[in-house]
Amino acid sequence: MLVLGIDIGGTSTRALVTTVAGDRVGFGRAGAGNPVTVPVDEGASNLRSALAAALSDVDVASIAAVVAGAAGAAHPEPVERALRAEGIRCPVRVVGDAVTAFAAGTDEPAGTVLIAGTGAVAAAVDGDRLVRTADGLGWLLGDLGSAFWIGRAAAVATANRRYAGAATSPLTDAVAAALEPGPPTGVSTVDGDAVVTAVYRREPRELAALAPLVTAAAEAGDPGAETILDEAAAHLFATVSRVRTPGPLVLAGGVLRHCAPVRQGLVSRLGPEVRISTARTGEEGAARLAARLLAR
């Protein structure tokens, strides 16, 4: 008996077939499946590609349960349609990606999850249900402490430093080089305009790509970068504090996985009594939830 876990995200769509015990049997990935990021047809096509790859060596009749986690409002119909097209007839559950992220970090049924990747959201989870959420409002309205937020703070610090005619720092040099490829133009107020213009020429979400530069600068001791990451940790602490519930706290997403200063800043604010674990991937969480559904 096998289970299928699916992660429908803004960057990629991933499908994982495992045994009920969690051993990997098949895997597939394709581009974004989230209708917030890509057109509905493109998302559906990416989901079909990921499914086809994951199921290529699998007898679909042995798939006994499916769980899919999706960012944003989860619409089950397109997922069910894609699975039926692959010949899968078993029960299908579509849940928020915070639910699968929580299951990817713990075997306990209830607790709290904090995701900080390109975006940021915290949720109290009970079983396969979101009890309540905090933030998760997207780059324009929220996502405080996310990679987008960190990248934007770095762009602001770089522009302000140049407008003030202050000396550059490792962080502002790295950000300016990323935004304005080409030879450096020297420090003047005109360069503040150049930084700002370069940001507005791009898609807002591309600011998230600056976040790793902030992590690198902080790890090299740049105080401006350290301040940004500490503020990110403070925002994430405030977000998770709005929904904290008894049980473990699962941390997920690229910022909490790869940016040590943010993770440390968060953990030290949480204090030693909080049980913290790190999420595996969303599709692993989804597959675990599917196995748990079978066990009920």
Residues of this chain that interact with a second copy (CB under 8 A) are 36, 72-73, 132-134, 137-138, 140-142, 152, 155-156, 159-160, 163-164, 189, 193, 196-197, 199-200, 204, 207
Burial of 159 (0-12, 13-18, 19+ CB in 10 A): buried
Nearest to residue 251, comparing CAs of 68, 70, 102, 149? 102
Identify which of residues 86 and 231 has a Cβ nearer to a second copy in the complex: 231
Identify which of residues 141 and 295 has a Cβ nearer to a second copy in the complex: 141
Q: What's the token pair of residue 63?
A: 């798939």
- Alpha-carbon gap, residue 206 to 11, rounded angstroms: 13
Identify which of residues 97 and 283 has a Cβ nearer to a second copy in the complex: 97
For the CB of residue 20, give the shortest distance to a second copy in the complex, in Å. 32
Q: What angle do CA 116, 208, 180 make, to 5 degrees?
A: 160
Three-state DSSP at 24 gives strand
Partners of 68 in beta bridges: 6, 94
For the CB of residue 158, give the shortest distance to a second copy in the complex, in Å. 10
For the CB of residue 227, give the shortest distance to a second copy in the complex, in Å. 16
For the CB of residue 289, give the shortest distance to a second copy in the complex, in Å. 21
> What's the one-letter identity of residue 8?
I
- Alpha-carbon gap, residue 170 to 110, rounded angstroms: 43
Identify which of residues 155 and 217 has a Cβ nearer to a second copy in the complex: 155
- Alpha-carbon gap, residue 75 to 94, rounded angstroms: 7
For the CB of residue 80, give the shortest distance to a second copy in the complex, in Å. 20
Nearest to residue 106, comparing CAs of 246, 248, 3? 248
Identify which of residues 54 and 237 has a Cβ nearer to a second copy in the complex: 237
Per the rule left: phi > 0, alpha: psi between -120 and 50, beta: everything else, 105 is: alpha
Identify which of residues 162 and 292 has a Cβ nearer to a second copy in the complex: 162
For the CB of residue 182, give the shortest distance to a second copy in the complex, in Å. 18
For the CB of residue 208, give the shortest distance to a second copy in the complex, in Å. 13
For the CB of residue 9, give the shortest distance to a second copy in the complex, in Å. 17
| Residues 21 and 33: beta-carbon distance below 8 Å | no
Q: Which residues contact 6 (CB under 8 A, 6 or more apart)?
A: 13, 14, 15, 16, 47, 50, 51, 66, 67, 68, 69, 79, 283, 286
Identify which of residues 131 and 177 has a Cβ nearer to a second copy in the complex: 131
Nearest to residue 67, comparing CAs of 135, 7, 151? 7
Identify which of residues 149 and 237 has a Cβ nearer to a second copy in the complex: 149
